[in-house]
Structure 1
Amino acid sequence: MDWDDLRLFLAVARAESLSGAGKALKLDPATLGRRIARLEQGLAARLFVKSPQGYALTEAGQRLLVHAERAEAAMAGAAEELRGVPGSLTGQIRIGAPDGCANYLLPQVLAAICDGNPGLEVQIVALPRVFNLSKREADLAIAVSRPEAGRLTVQKLTDYHLHLAASRGYLEAHGAIDSPADLRGRRMIGYIPDMIFDKELDYLAEIGVAHVPLASNSVSVQLNWLRHGAGVGVVHDFALPAAPELVRLIPDQISLTRAFWLIRHADDGRVERLNRFADLLAQGLRREVVRLEALA
């Protein structure tokens, strides 16, 4: 077995199909299928079971996956050692994050990291869901709750705060909000209830709001509704400097605290490049949350 065999195996395991893996590898699916069959024959073990849903790992495939991912991390680490200027980060890194963090924190934090490391390329995947690092949807992910399963390393990045907010125009048109009782009858803005992918995002339920007439799975859409005077909603304090039309409401009575967590595949701890990037990201994100919340 050589690294190229493991590389093809990993692609099929992550894509769960020959066509998806072939597209990622720029390899004909039929050729890929023959390579996988030859690998199975060489190992005298069946690695995949084909079903209408695609290619699923067998027990033997699951065992091989652990070793293949370790080999991948070792190859990445070796390549990094031989590439670029010593001490400088190079190559491509993809980070997945919820869209509030991706829109209002990561752009400036990552721009600063790239300024100090000109050979670095960074991709932000902003999606309202949990990322699958085993399938290499991203090299690192930021989440709003600590995962309880999987071969992952988890690091707390920072706490952040959220408050109710509305535009000055909305308050002038519909009256001030001086207590939680004043929320009755107000048009609320928040997440689509059945698309809340993490319980930590169910802000309105926590403060006793059951009905959400204006809802989106995007933090940015919610913020823009608020900016245009459409109603009342919960906003990240770090996003408020980007929306000067908004004011916090009853912060001494309703205040929420959440945390960001940095999640990495367990085997990536051997990749020095990702270790250094994770340190810079954590430091930059903490500083930026403190700076922006002070302006809110």
Structure 2
Amino acid sequence: MQDWDDLKVFLAVARAETLSGAGRRLRCDAATVGRRIARLEQALGAELFLRSVQGYALTDAGARLLPHAEAAEGAMQAATEDLGGAAGELSGQLRIGAPDGCANFLLPQVCARLSDAHPGLEIQIVALPRVFNLSKREADMAIGVSPPAAGRLVVQRLADYHLHLAGHADYLARHPPIRGLADLRGHRMIGYIPDMIFDKELDYLAETGAETVGLGSNSVPVQLMAVRAGAGLAIVHDFALPFAPGVRRVLTDRLSLKRSFWLIRHADDRRSDRLTRLAEALAQGVRREVARLEAEVLAGEHTASPAP
């Protein structure tokens, strides 16, 4: 019978598909990972990976070992949860994958409060403008802008949020009043690079009728900073506006978008009380933070002078 450390190395290589990637997860060098895999294969009398210049791919024997290794991982996690830590306190590492808008403007505050409540937690926020692969354990849980249609996943609606057309006050003052969508002609539109939109829910500018993106980025914070610099107009998350002084919503009565965040977990993680509790704490925190920031935007508009 193999010990858990051997199976942990096997799982890391299976998920990362390279020795270097597995080494980073395990916090050891690639050569050590390679030796551990060779030792495991020798002990089992079976080749677990096909080696190539592209990386490490599971053989049939490796694929058969995978569910057993994942079951062992689940058992170890359950034992740790059952035996370790003070009652009610959560600890250990939690890696959250999220689109960069959520990761930049919501998760820092949410995770700060979560860390204060559970000092033993080691929280990692991975901000990437793409869909995360939970089967390869790129993250313990992920936040998406639409529910995935396939995979062994548990999905729950996390929070609804709103977006509006916005521009910096200086930019708006330099241009004619915007009273309708037709007035947007001639304005530089800021948004996603069209061929880098990884989810149809992110095709915000389609709602404006804009045919071209004058200034594009695959990053939400970059788009917002371009708006703040007076480079043009963009569809902006309401919850991001408190972080961009001077950026104001326009045409709120004509153009208002509502989207949702979804919390996505691997189906096997339902057996983990720890991850279930963390998921619920994360969900509650995100909902409260979206509501707080959107309310702040509305309160600010009620005390500000009318937009041009």
- In which range does the TM-score fall when normalised by the shorter chain? over 0.9
Instruction: Supply the distance in 2 between the matched residues of 1:286 and 1:34 (Cα, whole angstroms).
Output: 46
Query: Which residue pairs with 2:4 in the alignment?
Result: 3
Match of 1:252 in 2: 253
Alignment of 1:105-124 (within 5 A): 105-124=106-125
Partner residue in 2 for 1:52:
53
Mean CA deviation greater in 243-252 or 276-285: 243-252
In the alignment, what sits opposite 1:189?
A: 190
* Aligned 1:144-293 pairs, distance under 5 A: 144-293=145-294
Give the C-alpha shift of residue 27 in structure 1.
5.1
Question: What whole-Å deviation, never above 9, does each CA across 1:168-221 have from its counterpart, x for those lacking one?
Answer: 111110111110101111101111222222221111124322211111111111
Cα deviation, residue 44, structure 1: 5.1
Further displaced range: 156-165 or 110-119: 110-119
| Change beyond 3 A, Cα 1:228–1:71 | same
How has the CA–CA distance of structure 1 residues 210 and 35 changed in structure 2, closer, same or farther, with 3 Å as cutoff? same
- Structure 1, unpaired ranges of 5+: none
3-state SS of the aligned residue for 2:198?
coil
The 8 Å contact of residues 74 and 271 in structure 1, kept in 2 or not, is answered as: no
Whole-Å separation in 1 of the counterparts to 2:23 and 2:231? 47
Q: In structure 2, what is the Cα distance between the partners aligned to 1:194 and 1:50?
A: 33
Aligned length: 296
Q: Whole-Å Cα distance in 1 between the matches of residues 241 and 162 of structure 2?
A: 11
The question of whether the paired residues in 2 share the 8 Å contact of 1:156 and 1:260 is answered with yes
Deviation at 1:41, TM superposition (A): 4.9
Name the Cα RMSD after superposition: 1.9
TM-score, normalising length from structure 2? 0.89
CA–CA distance in 1 between the matches of 2:282 and 2:150? 24
TM superposition shift of 1:23: 4.7
- Counterpart Cα distance in 2 of 1:275 and 1:110: 16
CA displacement at 1:231 relative to structure 2: 0.5
CA shift for structure 1 position 18:
2.7
Compared CA separation, residues 111 and 82, structure 1 to 2 (3 A):
same
Structure 1 contact 269–275 (Cα < 8 Å) conserved:
yes
Give the Cα separation in 1 of the matches to 2:134 and 2:126: 13
C-alpha displacement of 1:82 = 2.1
Distance 2:55 2:248 in 1: 50
**CA distance in 1 between partners of 2:35 and 2:114 (Å):** 43
Secondary structure class of the residue paired with 2:210? coil
Report the 3-state secondary structure (helix = DSSP H, G, I; strand = E; otherwise coil) of the residue aligned with 1:134.
Answer: helix
Q: Hey, what's the Cα distance between the residues in 1 that align with 2:20 and 2:118?
A: 36
Point out the more displaced range, 89-98 or 241-250: 241-250
Amino acid across the alignment from 1:130:
V
Q: Secondary structure at the match of 2:135?
A: coil
Q: SS of the residue aligned with 1:128?
A: coil
Question: Contact 1:74 / 1:270 at 8 angstroms: preserved in 2?
Answer: no
CA drift of 1:161 comes to 1.0
Post-superposition CA distance 1:121-149 (Å, at most 9, x none): 21111111112222222211111111122
